[in-house]
Chain A
Amino acid sequence: MSNEESSQKKKANAEYGQSDLEHLSDLEHVRERPSMYIGDTSNRGLHHLVYEVVDNSIDEAMANYATEVRVFINPDGSVTVEDDGRGIPVEKHNQLSEQMDRDVSTLEGVMTVLKFGGKFSKGAYQTSGGLHGVGVTVVNFLSEWCEVEVCRDGHVYHQEYERGIPKGDVRRVGTSDRRGTKSTFKPDPQIFSVTKFVYSTLAKRLQELAFLNRGVKISITDMRTDEADTFQYEQGIQEFVVWLNRASEAVHQEVLYVEGESEGVTVEIALQYSGEYTENVHSYVNNITTTEGGTHLSGFRTALTRSLNAYGKKQNLFKDLVPSGDDVREGLTAVISVRVPHPQFEGQTKTKLGNSEVEGIVNSLFGDYLSKFLEENPKTAKQMILKVILAAEARESARKARQLIRERKGALAGGGLPGKLRDCSSKDVDKCELYLVEGDSAGGSAEGGRLREYQAILPLRGKIINAYKSREDKVLANEEVRSMISAVGIGIGEDQDLSKRRYGRIVIMTDADVDGSHIRTLLLTFFYRQMYELIAQGHVYVAQPPLFRVRKGKEVNYVQTDEEMKTQLLELGLSDCVFDAGNGELVEGERMEKLCRTLAAMEESIVALERRGISLKAHAVRQDPATLELPIFHVFLGINEHWFNNRAALEAFVEEQEKATGKEVQLDGGTTPPEEVAETNGHIAPRLRIVELHEVRTINTLLKDLSQLGFEIDSLIPEDRTGLEGSRYMLRRGENETGLDDLRGLPAAIRAAGEKGLQITRFKGLGEMNAEELRETTLDPVNRTLLQVRMEDAGSADELFRVLMGDNVEPRREFIQKHALDVKNLDV
């Protein structure tokens, strides 16, 4: 310290009167108990110094006097905060000058007198942040040195301080056309345990402040590393919410936002639901984070739950579950920012707002807004409600699952296996099998026919419920699900333990009809979802019970599928049949066999064609005599119909149309013939509908085969014949003769011939088999066929299940119709 400075200080001290002593004791008080003012003297308190200074600049910005706040971490570890606001007043402060008995600048008062700030004079700022007005004074008191430069009224003013004591008066040091305040301070290592500022800590808070004070530009530059960021958000906390949800999937696109004022309290709220399960709510009072919440937060929560529940009830979106406050908060991202003139802080860390009037203000303001928003935005409203319902369901499911596990533990202790289970006697898990059998009667047969030592039977019944007005649905009853879980023994979900399995194989045995396949789909989906490991390790099988019993004298055989039955009968019939093609030509041997197989293969496709309302006779007229092909494309354009044999011809037609009209042809996307001919409107070009007859592809291929065997398409169509010349074709088998009008009936006639002397029974369900039959065909490892369920199978069962379960009515109806006729496609 130079002599001059020393004497100056002495002089200053000498001039200090009684009031100075009070101020000195302020300084001493702050330096002795810094934690009372800035929380602590470690990292948190250190960074807090910067925020205190920044808050003043933000107040200037929010009062529309400043546009920008700049923060620099200087190479020496000091920090500079600069704004382009009005600048702290520098003129003589009368009251203070009187007290001090010397001319004292307002600037000096701000820097050295506690609770001197403009924030306390009414009207200077409506509400402001800062640590309750201690602000920059405390920063000055806790700094090794501090300097402040004010540009105001064309001049630059400057004052320096050392540990809070001015090193001279405020001096005018030059002119400038800039405005604003620039403060630089170096935290005092005598006070702080750490004095090194962390860039990311400061940047994070400055970004938060930029979000909270929309439009204000805040930049930070680290002169030590050249790291820098600039934050400015025109949408304020709306952008804050988007930023908070940046790594999550938003449930709805729009960010809800409301701003309002009541009784001098201003409220700003922005929110959006994300797919997360946790709540992400940030609340602020006068820019201060209220980590313990308080009245503003509770007002918000009450209104949120109330409004969402009221809307959900009104729209009938809740079934029997009404979401709780916790459910409403799941996945909620929200920012609540209130400005309160006289905030009262409570709680352990003084970060809980205590002003009771704020609760009602936020509650009614936000509640009104949200109710209106939901009414006006039904799509977003539904997305929000569905998210909330899912949360409620998750809570309820978790409770049920816990209860189930508790019950199971209790049940296992008491040795309680399901009452319907007919367990096996062996304890050799790998050899043991559990048959899940559809229906009680089949269960009875299975119980009688099983190998008691290794095979256990659990009968399951699908329960019929009325799902919609005109539809019945089948579910797996709660009791059945529980029985299965208990019997299998490995538990569900998180608690799955494959080593606790009670059987080496779980065998699903259902009827070979649509209902049976649905129950199989339900069971496979259940195992796939809830006992994943069981499927992954290949413990699940599907039994293959026969569909037919074939008795020939005393010999009994079983046949599993329709296809196999047909093939067997055809082969039996072929062995001794001769076909008379009418012109005296006899077809037999290999040619006969080929003919039959070709016709049999064609049968299904012709039926499919006829189901479209297109008879083979009518379609045959359109045959191309050169290629023998029938048209595959049925095309509708306006009132005209067209037929094309292949895609090339179709494309040529489309091109021709486009040339004629000069417009691109529009497809209407339909795949079935239009119900009625579209009104032709001269102005609008009719749209093109293409119906593809997939089955004709098969027919075309087989027609060529047929031609090689010496028969053409007309042989498949009954001739218009007059007189009684007898049948066109004749099938001979020994002494028996069967007349045929066309070739289509040939495979059926041969099968009928093959059936002679056989007694064929088609089992309508497992229950029609007696215990012995079931044992012989399906249970006894010697004869049975088991299909092991692989992951893909279970996965496709799950896919199918999703289609069948789905809300989407159309694909569901389509699917059911398509597969209703073709049970084997439902097999997985």
Chain B
Amino acid sequence: MHCPICNSQFEQHETVAMPFCSDRCRQIDIGRWLEEGYSLPRIADPEDDEEPDDDTLRN
């Protein structure tokens, strides 16, 4: 497994903080959630605003 925070490799039985390598990394993660540090891109691609399947459906 790779820790989502520090990217170090570890085995599941070696950690007390699944899916992190350590409680410390887990804490960093909660910190990031709380300060809205995790964001996903909104798709700006114009094709998404349409319904991609609508036209093929009604052809």
Contacts and interface: CB of A to CB of B under 8 A. Distances in A.
B21 to A, nearest CB: 10
A467 B39 contact: yes
A747 B17 CA distance: 53
B47 to A, nearest CB: 6
A530 B26 contact: yes
A394 B24 contact: yes
B42 A397 contact: no
A515 interface: yes
B8 A275 contact: yes
Given A397-B30, A821-B52, A471 B44 contact: yes
A194 to B, nearest CB: 39
Given A494-B23, A529-B19, A748-B56, A805 B28 contact: no
A400 B30 contact: yes
Contact of A494 (B17, B40, B54): B17
B14 interface: no
A816 B42 CA distance: 10
Q: Bin chain A's interface residue count.
A: 35 or more
Interface stretch (A298-306, A476-484, A679-687): A476-484
A481 B31 CA distance: 11
Given A275-B8, A400-B30, A526-B33, A752 B58 contact: yes
B40 A804 contact: yes
A493 B33 CA distance: 13
A230 to B, nearest CB: 35
Interface in B34-49: 34-45, 47-48
A398 B4 contact: no
Contacts of B29: 397, 529-530
A816 B57 contact: no
Contacts of B56: 603, 607, 748
A466 to B, nearest CB: 10
A576 B44 CA distance: 43
Contacts of A465: 36, 39
A816 B45 contact: yes
Given A401-B27, A478-B34, A390 B6 contact: yes
A476 B35 CA distance: 10
A644 B53 CA distance: 32
Interface residues of B, number: 42
Contacts of B18: 532, 536
Given A390-B28, A762-B54, A514 B43 contact: yes
B35 A478 contact: yes
A492 interface: yes
A26 B25 CA distance: 59
Contacts of A781: none
Interface in A754-784: 755, 762, 764
Contacts of A476: 33, 36, 38
B43 A816 contact: yes
B17 A522 contact: no
A465 B48 CA distance: 19
A128 interface: no
Nearest to A494: B23
Contacts of A565: 57
B18, B25, B29, B34: which has the most chain A beta carbons within 10 Å? B34
A463 interface: yes
Contacts of B17: 493-494
Contacts of A562: 53, 57
A207 to B, nearest CB: 29
A149 interface: no
A275 B33 CA distance: 23
A386 to B, nearest CB: 10
A309 interface: no
B59 A397 contact: no
A397 B47 contact: no
A752 B29 CA distance: 51
Interface in A507-566: 513-515, 518, 521-522, 525-526, 528-530, 532, 536, 562, 565-566
Contacts of A525: 38
A789 to B, nearest CB: 14
A393 B28 contact: yes
Nearest to B42: A472
B54 to A, nearest CB: 7
B32 A820 contact: no
A709 B59 CA distance: 24
A493 B35 contact: no
A482 B36 CA distance: 11
Contacts of A603: 56
B31 A529 contact: no
Nearest to A396: B31
A630 B47 CA distance: 29
Interface of A: 249, 275, 277, 390, 393-394, 396-398, 400-401, 404, 463-465, 467, 470-478, 481-482, 492-494, 513-515, 518, 521-522, 525-526, 528-530, 532, 536, 562, 565-566, 569, 603, 607, 745, 748-749, 751-752, 755, 762, 764, 795, 798, 801-802, 804-805, 812, 816-817, 820-821
23 contacts: A393-B31, A397-B34, A401-B31, A467-B41, A472-B44, A473-B41, A474-B39, A475-B36, A475-B37, A492-B30, A493-B27, A514-B48, A536-B18, A562-B53, A566-B53, A745-B59, A748-B56, A749-B59, A751-B57, A752-B58, A805-B39, A812-B41, A821-B52
Given A393-B28, A522-B38, 10 more contacts: A401-B31, A472-B44, A475-B37, A515-B42, A518-B40, A529-B4, A530-B26, A530-B33, A565-B57, A607-B56
**CB-based closest 4 A-B pairs:** A397-B31, A473-B39, A748-B59, A475-B39
